[in-house]
Structure 1
Amino acid sequence: MNKAHVIEHLRFALEAQLTTAQAAAKTAHDTATHEENVAENKYDTLGLEAAYLAQGQAQRVNECHMSIKAFEKAFKEPSSTKVKIGSLVCLSDEDDVLNWYFIGPYSGGLKVTIKSISVYVLTPLSPLGKALLNKEVGDDVSFSAGEKTRLLCVASIA
């Protein structure tokens, strides 16, 4: 797996998230400020609810900007023999099935697909992300997800 291709796909996915959030924020703002949503009495809360939604969507846009900024820093991190933020990690399970992960500062669960291979973003706050930090190729990683404990092996780090 080519780390530069993964980074390119992640940039595109993060920009797509930002575009979606901006569109949602604009729609929410337009709804909140539309003349038909002016309260007719003290019990008419549609305009107020729309304003709260617009505020939440604006916060989401800010979070997307922060995420992109943090990822740009992570993308520039030099490769290491140990897993850290900015690492592209391949893990092997008990059945020798390989799974790819990019250790990112935000956006855990974001998925990009490159040539039919999925790469998931993990943050250090996730159980697997926390277990992976500072591991090296060949190290075993044990983590719990719910009541199930899984054992994986670090196959490669880029």
Structure 2
Amino acid sequence: MNKQTLRQELLQRLDSQRTTALNAATSAHDAATHEQSVAETQYDTIGLEAAYLAHGQSQRVIDCDRTIHRVNALNLQDFNNDDCIEYGALVTLSNHKNYWLLPVCGGTLLDHGRITVITPQAPLGQMLDGAEFDEILANGLSIIEIQ
């Protein structure tokens, strides 16, 4: 499993999410500033609602940018079975499932569903963070490979 290839796959997904959020923000901004959005009465809130939506979508774009930056900044060092698990480690458990420990994008499936991104915020991620080769985790799972 090539970590650079996995990173590129993840970045493509994030870029797609960013593009969707940017298009939504642009559309909401256009709706908020359209002449038909001008309030005709004190109870007419279409323009205000569109402005709130535009702001929320803009925040999504900013969040996507931050996530993309964090993925790009990852050190994709190689690990071996003598190392403790930390960000960037690909881990295979005794149930033959593969996990990539990252600070973001938990739950994302990569490499045609063969690798699951997991973060330390998830219960399994908490167990894996700092664990060592052959360590027994909850439910009798053990770590059989670290890359």
Could you state the TM-score of these two structures normalised by the residue count of structure 2? 0.86
Tell me if the contact between 1:122 and 1:129 (Cα under 8 Å) persists in the aligned partners: yes
Paired positions, count = 144
Counterpart amino acid of 2:134? G
**Aligned-pair RMSD on alpha carbons?**
1.7
Could you state the TM-score of these two structures normalised by the residue count of structure 1? 0.81
Matched residues in 2 for 1:152 and 1:28: separation? Answer: 48
What is the match of residue 107 of structure 2? Answer: 109
- Decide whether aligned partners of structure 1 residues 104 and 47 sit closer, same or farther in structure 2, where only a CA change above 3 A counts: same
Q: Which runs of 4+ in 1 moved over 6 A?
A: none
Gaps of 5+ in 1: 143-149
Matched residues in 1 for 2:144 and 2:38: separation? Answer: 59
What is the match of residue 132 of structure 2? Answer: 136
Matched residues in 2 for 1:19 and 1:67: separation? Answer: 14
Is the counterpart of residue 120 in structure 1 residue 122 in structure 2?
no
What is the match of residue 156 of structure 1? Answer: 145
Q: Which region of structure 1 is more displaced relative to structure 2, 41-50 or 2-11?
A: 2-11
Tell me the SS of whatever aligns to 1:140: coil
Matched residues in 1 for 2:41 and 2:114: separation? Answer: 52
User: % of aligned pairs identical?
Assistant: 40
Q: CA deviation at 1:62?
A: 0.5
- Higher share in strand: 1
Q: How does 1:39-78 map to 2 (within 5 A)?
A: 39-74=39-74, 76-78=75-77
- Decide whether aligned partners of structure 1 residues 119 and 27 sit closer, same or farther in structure 2, where only a CA change above 3 A counts: farther
Matched residues in 2 for 1:125 and 1:19: separation? Answer: 27
Gaps of 5+ in 2: none
